[in-house]
Structure 1
């Protein structure tokens, strides 16, 4: 299993529009083969922060969906980011 998690920084006054512009990508990801979870959300404390969380069955599933990445318009709105890919070898109950 692959987890992609982290955050994106956008202008606080543009965050709602940024997330609205990502809605179709979220719908497409959730329908993509191998997608177990895909979520982008507004941080509760930082008005310019977007939380990223994805779970995929495999690298191949992730790469097939990801393609060339965000649109140029979306990429231009990202002021900073810290997102990483994690390879999970086991899953346990909390």
Structure 2
């Protein structure tokens, strides 16, 4: 079953760009990892301290295998709030179907 991990975290607005950049190596390596369909860690276009997270995996096993070897961020930041959930995908279709 495919899995999506998605949500948002908040950091101080003045460190947000550094926080996103500190996770670039994770995004680059995850996208090359078997079973990864997509990963994105990006600055929100509206809220100054918000970072959006999105991961799309072929299976729980692929996600778990990645998490077992995933590199750490190059820098760590205090998280003000974390709102991230894991979703199991029961079906997929086009956005206008």
**4+ runs deviating over 6 angstroms:** none
Question: Cα RMSD over matched residues?
Answer: 1.8
Q: Structure 1 length normalisation: TM-score?
A: 0.89
Q: Structure 2 length normalisation: TM-score?
A: 0.87
For residues 63 and 4 of structure 1, the distance between their equivalents in structure 2, rounded to whole angstroms, comes to 12
**Structure 1 runs not aligned, ≥5 long:** none
Deviation at 1:67, TM superposition (A): 2.4
**Structure 2 runs not aligned, ≥5 long:** none
Relative to its length, the structure with more helix (as a share) is 1
Deviation at 1:68, TM superposition (A): 7.6
Deviation at 1:77, TM superposition (A): 2.6
Question: What does 1:8-87 align with in structure 2 at a 5 Å threshold?
Answer: 8-67=9-68, 70=72, 73-74=75-76, 76-87=77-88
For residues 68 and 85 of structure 1, the distance between their equivalents in structure 2, rounded to whole angstroms, comes to 19
